[in-house]
Amino acid sequence: MGGGFWGADMISPQIGFIAGENTIFKPLVGKTTDSGQTWDFVAFYLNNNEGRATGVDFTDEFVGFVSSRVWDGRGAISKTTDAGINWQTTFINNSLWGIDFPISNTGQIGYAVGDIGKILKTYDAGENWHEQVSSTSEKLNKVYFLDIDNGFVAGDNGLILKTTNGGESVTGTYDNNSTAFNFILSQNYPNPFNPSTKIKFTIPQSSLPGRDGRGGFVTLRIYDVLGNEVATLVNEEKPPGTYEAEFSTDQYNNLSSGVYFYQLKAGSPQGQVFIETKKMVLMR
């Protein structure tokens, strides 16, 4: 059975929007101008495709965006410039579950999140969407930014991601009991680098599941800008302490100059897991 709402956005005390699907599986957007006392609804197809609107964000009374899950498993981002009467849709290869534009009126920068760790960012009010590295394969459900730099993503299995630089790097924890880890992932040095760089990280004794000081399973991996894994530097149990790993391009002659990401993940599938991702630059 179709029907239901999955997202809401208020741009003033009086004007707001909700998004979901109607009973025949068409994305549905509602608008109120009287603080929710009454609603006007518009149902629309995703370029002739059925689906569910999962999130909504309007930058003013007329310009708005909707994230969706298409019936065939794809995702979609739809944009309106006439308060929801007409919609233009862009398709994404994974279902999307949340969307946010942090600044009203001038909202050029926005974010969308979805299945398999998908994070997308636009710099031009939805004309183009660029994928960011989240270094997780969890389903990401909602995204919210305080401003263009500081934002949070909520995902499955208690995953919470945080960025302080517009998604250039992301930190995260799987939070099962609201107690955060105090892992440290340092900036690589040198940066930019050629042909090698060192990455330092710290595992605190008190942060492990059970807090018994045995250490935890740690991975340190390198990714390219498309999210493809380039190298695994660490993939083993580690006791508490400070470590340094070296990444050398001598083993990877096909790597070109550009931006790469390194991601530390540590903990236990039965407890909390720490994730942090940082950016580094290779200059050939």
Based on its alpha-carbon atoms, the radius of gyration of the chain, rounded to whole angstroms, reads 21
208: tokens are: 């492990």
Torsion of Cα atoms, 42 then 48 then 49 then 54, to 10° = -30
Buried b (16+ CB within 10 A) or exposed e, 121-135: bbeebbeebebbbbb
Homologous superfamily of 4-168 in CATH? YVTN repeat-like/Quinoprotein amine dehydrogenase (2.130.10.10)
Neighbours of 182 (CB within 10 A): 11
Residue 212: the pLDDT is 45
Per-residue pLDDT band for 25 (boundaries 50, 70, 90) equals confident
- Residue 113, C-beta contacts closer than 8 angstroms, at least 6 positions apart: 96, 97, 98, 99, 119, 120, 140, 141, 142, 143, 153, 155
- CB under 8 Å to 168, separation ≥6 — which residues? 279
> Which residue, 99, 59, 50, is CA-closest to 77?
99
Mean pLDDT for 54-77 is 94
* pLDDT above 90 as % of the chain: 52
What pLDDT, on a 0 to 100 scale, did the predictor assign at position 214? Answer: 46
Helix (H) or strand (E) holding 185: strand 184-185
Q: 50-54, 190-194, 244-248, 265-269: which has the minimum mean pLDDT?
A: 265-269
> Where in the chain are the domains?
4-168, 184-282
Q: Which residues pair with 205 in a beta bridge?
A: none
| Topology given in CATH for the domain delimited by 184-282 | Immunoglobulin-like (2.60.40)
């600044």: which residue's tokens?
103
The one-letter code for the residue type at 232 is: T
Instruction: Quick: pLDDT tens for 80-106.
Output: 999 999 999 999 988 999 999 987 655
Mean pLDDT for the stretch of residues 126-134? 86
User: Mind listing the pLDDT tens digit for each residue in 193-219?
Assistant: 999 999 988 887 643 344 444 457 889
